[in-house]
């Protein structure tokens, strides 16, 4: 950190914008690691002092409090050790999660909404801030698609393990005959690219459409053309946002989404990862899933890639995804971008 701070103070530091930005990102990443370490060192020291006082006073409550602090330090250090595997350039970034309903009719749309809830609960449990940037509700039930921003350190590094097609098998609540149905939804994960990373976008390559937001209504929804859709003509990438009441804010968020998509596309092309999830358009149907969630005739969640099986389906759907994420990252060494 000291070396990078010295380099950033040089008069010609910003002459090479790309190199300067790379160094600043590295410095920010190192700062997060050092600060996390320092916090745990301080908590450990405090727990030591508390134990000494508890021993002198024979205070069992203080012993219990110190024990809880030590458990927290152990958990934090284990997480820090695990994050050492997340060495990709954008792993420390926030994440954009796009969910789309696939084959399966109404059940697939309901399944897409269940996945939306699952990732929101996972993020909340890990202290991440979330925003629903765009939701396209389905006519009868569930959603056709949504876009979630998950803000916090290493959100992308973790959630990239979730990219792929997710399969649900259950007794359909929408089938009067109570038959078993299979439905699919896809999850795409992109790093959130902030303003510190330059992505060249020619305004002439953009088509910007403004329309009335869909949804349950309200003071502004459906009354003004606040929603924004941007089409990047050369790449065919389409992004949209209708979450904010202000058209200006929706436009800014949509541009943020577009920068992330274009950055991810450029990274993918440069690294020639043709077998990556984002490099091929997988059919959201049979034979392409990364994970199966079976609710009937038995209850089991199976990850096709790691062969990890978890019987507590309710916990998984409530956001307990860490076993799957960690198994995938351990298998790949964390190097899947």
How far is residue 14 from each of residues 18, 28, 194, measured CA to CA in Å? 9, 17, 18
Average pLDDT over residues 199-227: 68
Confidence of residue 278 (pLDDT cuts 50, 70, 90): very low
What DSSP character marks residue 276? S
What is the per-residue pLDDT across 135-163, written as a single tens digit (0 to 9) for each? 999 988 999 999 999 998 889 999 999 99
Average pLDDT over residues 71-96: 83
In terms of average pLDDT, the best of 113-122, 176-185, 186-195 is 113-122
Average pLDDT over residues 81-86: 77
> Does residue 312 sit in helix, strand or coil?
coil
Q: 221-226 long-range contacts, Cβ below 8 Å, gap at least 24? A: 221/245, 226/250
- The pair of structure tokens assigned to 61 is 């409550």
Please give the pLDDT value at position 108.
95
The answer to whether domain 95-189+282-332 has CATH 3.10.20.30 is no
Q: Which residues contact 229 (CB under 8 A, 6 or more apart)?
A: 208, 209, 210, 211, 238, 239, 240, 254
Please give the pLDDT value at position 125.
95
When comparing pLDDT for 207 and 170, which is higher?
170
Contact, 174 vs 141, CB < 8 A? yes
Distance CA 291, CA 48 (A): 44
Percent of the chain at pLDDT > 90 equals 41
Topology classification of domain 2-83 = Methane Monooxygenase Hydroxylase; Chain G, domain 1 (1.20.58)
Distance CA 306, CA 291 (A): 10
How does the average pLDDT of the chain come out, rounded? 84
Length of the chain equals 337
Bridge partners of 209, per DSSP, are 229
pLDDT exceeds cutoff 80 at 83: no
Please give the pLDDT value at position 229.
87
Please give the pLDDT value at position 273.
43
Contact, 252 vs 228, CB < 8 A? no
Buried b or exposed e, range 129-149, using 16+ CB within 10 angstroms: ebeebbbbbbeeebbbbbbbb
Percent of the chain at pLDDT > 70 equals 86
Please give the pLDDT value at position 221.
47
- The pair of structure tokens assigned to 173 is 């609540």
Distance CA 244, CA 132 (A): 10
Domain locations in the chain? 2-83, 95-189+282-332, 203-271
Please give the pLDDT value at position 120.
97
Distance CA 169, CA 203 (A): 45
Strand-pair category, 129-137 with 143-151: antiparallel
> Does residue 211 sit in helix, strand or coil?
strand
What is the per-residue pLDDT across 215-271, written as a single tens digit (0 to 9) for each? 554 444 445 667 888 898 888 888 888 877 777 888 888 887 888 888 777 766 655
In terms of average pLDDT, the best of 44-48, 67-71, 109-113, 213-217 is 109-113
Confidence of residue 280 (pLDDT cuts 50, 70, 90): very low
Please give the pLDDT value at position 220.
44
Distance CA 303, CA 327 (A): 9
Q: How many CB atoms lie within 10 A of CB 72?
A: 14
Contact, 212 vs 225, CB < 8 A? yes
Please give the pLDDT value at position 244.
74
Please give the pLDDT value at position 42.
93
DSSP string, 145-199: EEEEEEESTTHHHHHGGG-EEEEEEEE-TT-TT--EEEEEEEEEEEE---TTS--
Of residues 147, 36, 153, 34, the one with CA closest to residue 93:
153
Element (H, E) at 223: none
Least confident range of 69-83, 126-140, 267-281, 323-337: 267-281
When comparing pLDDT for 82 and 126, which is higher?
126
Topology classification of domain 203-271 = Double Stranded RNA Binding Domain (3.30.160)
Q: Give the up-direction half-sphere exposure of residue 280: CA atoms within 13 A in the CB hemisphere.
A: 12
């Amino acid at each position: 950190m000291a070396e990078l701070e010295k380099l950033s103070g040089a008069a010609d530091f910003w002459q090479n914008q790309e190199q300067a930005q790379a160094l600043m990102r590295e410095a920010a990443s190192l700062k997060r690691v050092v600060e996390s370490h320092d916090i745990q060192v301080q908590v450990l020291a405090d727990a030591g002092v508390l134990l000494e006082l508890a021993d002198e006073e024979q205070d069992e409550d203080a012993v219990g409090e110190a024990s809880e602090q030590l458990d927290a330090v152990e958990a934090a250090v284990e997480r820090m050790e695990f994050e050492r595997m997340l060495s990709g350039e954008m792993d420390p970034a926030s994440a954009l999660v796009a969910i789309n309903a696939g084959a399966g009719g109404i059940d697939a749309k309901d399944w897409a909404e269940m996945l939306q809830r699952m990732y929101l609960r996972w993020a909340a449990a890990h202290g991440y801030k979330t925003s629903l940037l765009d939701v396209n509700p389905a006519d009868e039930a569930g959603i056709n698609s949504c876009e979630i921003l998950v803000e916090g350190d290493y959100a992308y590094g973790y959630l990239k393990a979730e990219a792929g097609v997710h399969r649900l098998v259950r007794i359909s609540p929408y089938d009067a005959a109570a038959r078993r149905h299979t439905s699919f939804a896809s999850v795409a994960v992109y790093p959130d690219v902030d303003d510190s990373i330059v992505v060249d976008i020619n305004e002439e390559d953009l088509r910007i459409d403004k329309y009335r937001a869909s949804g349950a209504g309200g003071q502004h929804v459906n009354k003004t053309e606040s929603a924004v859709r941007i089409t990047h003509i050369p790449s065919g990438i389409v992004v949209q946002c209708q979450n904010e009441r202000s058209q200006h804010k929706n436009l800014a968020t949509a541009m943020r989404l577009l920068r992330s998509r274009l950055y991810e596309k450029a990274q993918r092309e440069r690294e020639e990862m043709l077998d990556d999830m984002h490099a091929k358009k997988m059919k959201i149907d049979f034979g392409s899933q990364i994970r199966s969630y079976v609710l009937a005739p038995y209850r089991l969640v199976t990850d096709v890639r790691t062969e990890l099986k978890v019987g507590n389906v309710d916990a998984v759907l409530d956001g307990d995804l860490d076993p799957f994420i960690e198994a995938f990252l351990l298998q790949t060494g964390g190097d899947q971008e």
